[in-house]
Amino acid sequence: MKRNTLCMAIAVWALSLSAPAQNFDESKVAPYQLPDPLTCTDGTKVTTSRQWEKKRRPEVMEMFQSLMYGRTPKEKVKAEYTLMKEDTHWLGGKATVQQVKMHFTGNGSTHDAMLLIVRPNAVKKTPVIFCYNFQGNAQTMGYDSSILPHASSSFYDQIWVNHDGCGVWDYERAVDRGYAIATMCYHDIHPDDPEYRGQSVAKLFAGYEEGEQMRSDAWSAIGMWAWGASRVADYLEKQPWADKRHLAVMGHSRLGKTALWAGAQDTRFGVVISNESGCGGATLTRRNFGETLEIITGAFPHWFCPGFRNFVGKEHQMPFDQHELLALVAPRALYVASAEQDQWCDPKGEFLSAYHAGEVYHLYGYQGLDTTEQPGLHQPIMHRVGYHIRAGIHDVTCYDWSRYLDFCDRHFAP
Ligand code: GTR
């Protein structure tokens, strides 16, 4: 076991001894009152989509930036994209695989990330789903030796978090259904370890030197991963083969949290999909079920801005909750998915959060989930807001991918 791994395991174990026991009993969920997405800070009630966009949405955005995910820098960095490798005969000639190096320059520093794209040859203007991977681009292709090492691979084995439930990469299904998948290893943007901030894209920005991470609203790892998703969108929207009106962002678990924050900020993502994103993602923080704020901010301090920790034990005083993060995606299409055995993520809390986001969708004349009854297993709801819960554990399965493609078909229809 690596030293870092051991230290972190001890820290998580010690934390679990001191943390209040997590609740997995629905009858012990304490009553809670959610903040109203449609009431502005000055008490004004929002009744139109225009009011939402002009007044309330910026307020909600500001809360998530200043209190949870940290402030995304406004400056632009120079980005160069180089096609390193291309195979136009993948999957028996059905698909093209492209490997693109993204090279960023800013604040006297440079930073590289490696993007992998698989796209169908038969489609002229292809909708694209961007989805970060946990273990490197090669892993998503069964360790195909033609896949270039991802940019962070040289120190990858020193990073203590190594994710097991990294799921199925159903490239062929996507290609057959006319979709391109773009992916990149999330460590390429911020290695997933609090000690590796110096190796992250933070260094590309003025003012992001030593000590800045102490600011209460300092940019978090989730914030940086979301930023990386937008840099991929910058590239995709310039590709002649890509249908820039039809870009989706999808993510699993911590990368589901990331997909939501990316989709909240970047309106180029027309479909935003959270696969089992749980605490700090889709699920309601106020519902005491599954993972708690104390546990997540203790185990993964770098995922959120430092100020977020102030809400530990004071969840009911938070001026926002995660249904409002989901509402930031409106009027674009939003899909939240849970798994039955993934109680850590609080499937019911994910469902209720998506339900409550519906209020904002109604301002645009769209249907939200529009039922407070959580559907049974494998009974997806597919309105402008979608939801499913499937049997099984915390993972991304073929069932999940198939529903996401169905949902994209519905919302990307010409
Ligand atoms: C867990 C964390 C969850 C979830 C998960 C993951 O350890 O507690 O919030 O994000 O990691 O990303 O797999």
d(CA 22, CA 137) in angstroms, rounded, equals 35
Q: Residue 234's closest CA among 103, 72, 68, 65?
A: 103
How far apart are the CA of 253 and the centre of ligand 1, in A? Answer: 6
User: Considering only CA atoms, which residue is closest to atom 8 of ligand 1?
Assistant: 296
Ligand 1 centroid to residue 276 C-alpha, Å: 9
Closest CA to 257 of 242, 240, 270, 276: 276
Q: Which of 131, 285, 291 to mutate to test the pocket of ligand 1 (most atoms within 8 A of CB)?
A: 291
Q: State which ligand 1 atom lies nearest to the alpha carbon of 255.
A: 12
154 — phi, psi (to 5°)?
-65, -30
**Which residues, in sequence order, are bridge partners of residue 272?**
249, 334
The DSSP symbol for 337 reads E
Please tell me the distance from the alpha carbon of residue 168 to that of residue 145, in angstroms, as a whole number: 19
CA nearest to 340, candidates 390, 399, 275, 402: 390
> Given this model, what pLDDT does residue 158 score?
55
Tell me, using a 6 A CB cutoff, whether residue 270 lines ligand 1: no
pTM for the structure as a whole: 0.94
Q: Do residues 148 and 82 lie in contact, with contact meaning Cβ atoms separated by under 8 Å?
A: no
Beta-carbon count within 10 A of 298 CB: 18
The 10s digit of each residue's pLDDT in 245-281 is 999 999 999 999 999 999 999 999 999 999 999 999 9
Q: Which atom of ligand 1 is nearest to the CA of 295?
A: 8
Q: If you count DSSP H runs as helices and E runs as strands, how many of each does the chain have, helices first?
A: 12, 10
> What domains lie within the chain, and their CATH numbers?
36-411 (3.40.50.1820)
Nearest alpha-carbon partner for 38 in 336, 404, 368: 368
Query: Among 100-114, 132-146, 245-259, 346-360, whose mean pLDDT is lowest?
Result: 132-146
291 Cβ inside 6 Å of ligand 1: yes
Q: How confident is the model at residue 412 (pLDDT cuts 50, 70, 90)?
A: very high
Determine which residue's CA is closest to atom 12 belonging to ligand 1.
254
Instruction: Decide whether any atom of ligand 1 lies within 6 Å of the 170 Cβ.
Output: no
Q: Which residue has 């934390």 as its token pair?
A: 15
Q: According to the model, what pLDDT value does residue 213 have?
A: 67
Task: Render the burial of 90-114: b for 16+ CB within 10 Å, e for the rest.
Answer: bbeebbbbbbbbbebebbeeebebb
pLDDT band at residue 150 using 50, 70 and 90 as cut-offs: confident
Structure tokens at 54: 């002009």
pLDDT given for residue 151 in this prediction: 73
* Tokens read off for 137: 């681009």
Q: Which pLDDT score, from 0 to 100, does residue 157 have?
A: 56
97 phi, psi to nearest 5 deg: -110, 125
3-class DSSP state of 343: helix
At residue 375, φ and ψ (nearest 5 deg) are -65, 160
Complete DSSP assignment for 56-71: IHHHHHHHHIIIII-P
Alpha carbons 33 and 265: distance in angstroms, whole number: 26
Give yes or no for residue 8 CB within 6 A of ligand 1.
no
Amino acid identity for residue 3 in this structure: R
Cα 269 to ligand 1 centroid, rounded to whole Å: 24
User: What do you get for the CA distance between the two ends of the chain, in Å?
Assistant: 52
Q: Is 208's pLDDT higher than 80?
A: no
Q: Is the CB of 99 within 6 Å of ligand 1?
A: no
User: Which ligand 1 atom minimizes the distance to the CA of 277?
Assistant: 10
* Ligand 1 geometric centre to CA of 175 (Å): 29
pLDDT for 291:
98
221 Cβ closer than 6 Å to some ligand 1 atom? no
CA-nearest residue for atom 9, ligand 1, is 279
Please state, in angstroms and rounded to a whole number, the distance separating the CA atoms of residues 414 and 404.
17
Q: Is 342 a pocket residue for ligand 1 (Cβ < 6 Å)? A: no
CA distance 187 to 1: 20
239's CB contacts (< 8 A; 6+ apart) are: none
Distance CA 23, CA 325 (A): 24
User: What length does the chain have?
Assistant: 414
**Does residue 197 line the site of ligand 1, with CB under 6 A?**
no
Give the closest residue (by CA) to ligand 1 atom 10: 254
Q: How far is the CA of 254 from the centre of ligand 1 (A)?
A: 6
Residues belonging to the active site: 253, 394
Interval between CA 45 and ligand 1 midpoint (Å): 36
d(CA 281, CA 259): 9
Tell me: the pLDDT tens digits for 45-59? 999 999 999 999 999
Residue 111 CA to its chain's centroid (Å)? 21
How many Å lie between the centroid of ligand 1 and the Cα of residue 277?
Answer: 8
Enter the tokens of residue 311.
């809400």
For ligand 1, is residue 111 a contact (CB within 6 Å)?
no
SS3 state of residue 114: strand
Can you tell me which residue has the tokens 């000690």?
195
